[in-house]
Amino acid sequence: MPVRIIHVGLGGWGGNWARTAIPEVSEVEVVGIVDPVAATLDAVRTDLGLPASAAFASLTEALAGVEADAVVITAPAVTHVPLALEALDAGKHVLVEKPFANTAEEAATAVRRAEELGLVLQVSQNYRWYPAPRVVTELLEADAVGEVATIDVDFRQWDNDLPFEEHPHYRFPHAMINDMAIHHFDLMRMITGREPVRVYARASSPSFSKYQDEAIASMLIELEGGLVVSYRGSWLSRAPRTAWAGEWSIQGSDGELWFTSRSGEPNAVEGDRVTIRRTQDDEAEPVELPTMEHTDRQGGLQAFARSVTGGAEPETSGRDNLRSLAVMEAAQRSAESGVPEDVVVPE
């Protein structure tokens, strides 16, 4: 029997979730949709072929109006924790879009509540659900390039053309760090199996930027054991674009492991690539990648459904995601203070 879900937040990216991601996962069934904007709500309801009785202006109304097992939250980030707490207090499991919250301590309130109630709380860190980073994780676990000495990560996109009023990211607080680099922080933790302990970040905002906050950031991120990651990210780069997961060079005693992932539209895996180079003079050899049943948001949603129905705790549980959020916070603090900041994970 599929997990019955209420989907909250249908504008923009949430509408994309509703129309293209959720319908692909047979383990879930949408029994209610929620959005405060009547036109948005009706458009999604019509596209999904749902009855008027399944559409609600608020989560409170939906919880009272339909029988559900879980709530999927794709509303604006500032609403994530309040909505999650309401759903949890109603006895529902929760899947929430990233970033989980704008502070780790706020997110921790929902994590604690889910644990008290014995409910699943998962964050959609969709970049994990692609073949390249999953293969790289396995290769590093197997010491494929020996002792890892350094990791370099580059992310480059140009996203500065729409008017400020129409752009979905211009007003996002610290858009480079909070909205984009959170993906890369999470991948960093996944592939290395190490937790970040300290971040030194510098952010900048050229005069032509339309972003409310800095859209360029460079960071040194120290992981457990002293491994240092060099990170460069920009929403304002005129250099060749990277894929959304960036370009990663992982250098060890026995060679270099290089990968990129999530190019193009969501679920596009054609651009995923992994190579191994043994010395500076060797050709990089491609690594074969597996075919995955579900990628991107669908992969995370499938994992959520299986966890709700008695499976293992999701790898991107709310508890685990506090560590990715804590890196984001440390980077933000360092960019503002100009000094390295420790990664502080709330209990």
Domain of residue 115, residue span = 3-126+296-317
266 vs 157, higher pLDDT: 157
Asked if 50 contacts 5 with a C-beta cutoff of 8 angstroms, the reply is no
Q: Give the whole-angstrom CA distance, residue 31 versus residue 4.
A: 6
Q: Is the pLDDT of residue 232 over 90?
A: yes
Q: Give the whole-angstrom CA distance, residue 93 versus residue 90.
A: 9
Task: Give the model's confidence band at 173: pLDDT under 50 very low, under 70 low, under 90 confident, else very high.
Answer: confident
Q: Is the pLDDT of residue 27 over 90?
A: yes
Determine the longest span between alpha carbons in the chain, in angstroms: 65
Instruction: Say if 97 falls within a structural domain.
Output: yes
The encoded tokens of residue 339 equal 């000094």
Residue 188 Cα distances to 13, 75, 123, 321, angstroms: 24, 26, 16, 12
pTM for this entry: 0.93
Q: Is the pLDDT of residue 166 over 90?
A: no
Dump pLDDT digits (tens) for 241-284: 999 999 999 999 999 999 999 998 888 899 999 999 999 999 99
Instruction: Say if 347 falls within a structural domain.
Output: no
C-alpha dihedral sign at 44, 47, 48, 52? positive
Q: Is the pLDDT of residue 29 over 90?
A: yes
pLDDT for position 165: 83
Q: Is the pLDDT of residue 72 over 90?
A: yes
Instruction: Say if 11 falls within a structural domain.
Output: yes
Asked whether residue 223 falls in the same domain as residue 119, the answer is: no
Instruction: Say if 164 falls within a structural domain.
Output: yes
Task: Give the model's confidence band at 227: pLDDT under 50 very low, under 70 low, under 90 confident, else very high.
Answer: very high
Q: Give the whole-angstrom CA distance, residue 4 versus residue 240.
A: 43
Asked whether residue 75 falls in the same domain as residue 17, the answer is: yes
Instruction: Say if 108 falls within a structural domain.
Output: yes
Q: Is the pLDDT of residue 168 over 80?
A: no
Asked whether residue 274 falls in the same domain as residue 313, the answer is: no
Instruction: Say if 322 falls within a structural domain.
Output: no
Asked whether residue 245 falls in the same domain as residue 281, the answer is: yes
pLDDT for position 167: 81
Q: Is the pLDDT of residue 162 over 90?
A: no
Q: Give the whole-angstrom CA distance, residue 232 versus residue 110.
A: 31
pLDDT for position 266: 87
Asked whether residue 154 falls in the same domain as residue 270, the answer is: yes
Mean pLDDT of 13-19: 96
Dump pLDDT digits (tens) for 295-334: 999 999 999 999 999 999 999 999 999 999 999 999 999 9
Task: Give the model's confidence band at 159: pLDDT under 50 very low, under 70 low, under 90 confident, else very high.
Answer: very high
Instruction: Say if 346 falls within a structural domain.
Output: no
Asked whether residue 336 falls in the same domain as residue 282, the answer is: yes
Residue 334 Cα distances to 201, 219, 342, angstroms: 5, 9, 9
Q: Percentage of residues in the chain with pLDDT exceeding 70?
A: 100
Instruction: Say if 121 falls within a structural domain.
Output: yes
CATH, residue 153: 3.30.360.10
CA 71 to chain centre: 18
Q: How many domains does one find in the chain? A: 2
Asked whether residue 112 falls in the same domain as residue 163, the answer is: no
Asked whether residue 106 falls in the same domain as residue 30, the answer is: yes
Dump pLDDT digits (tens) for 180-209: 999 999 999 999 999 999 999 999 999 999
Asked whether residue 44 falls in the same domain as residue 17, the answer is: yes
Asked whether residue 278 falls in the same domain as residue 311, the answer is: no
CATH, residue 17: 3.40.50.720
Asked whether residue 139 falls in the same domain as residue 272, the answer is: yes
Mean pLDDT of the chain: 96
Q: Is the pLDDT of residue 286 over 80?
A: yes
DSSP state letter for 16: H
Asked whether residue 311 falls in the same domain as residue 249, the answer is: no
Q: Is the pLDDT of residue 169 over 80?
A: no
Q: Percentage of residues in the chain with pLDDT exceeding 90?
A: 91
Answer whether the bond into residue 99 is a cis peptide, omega within 30°: yes
pLDDT for position 163: 87
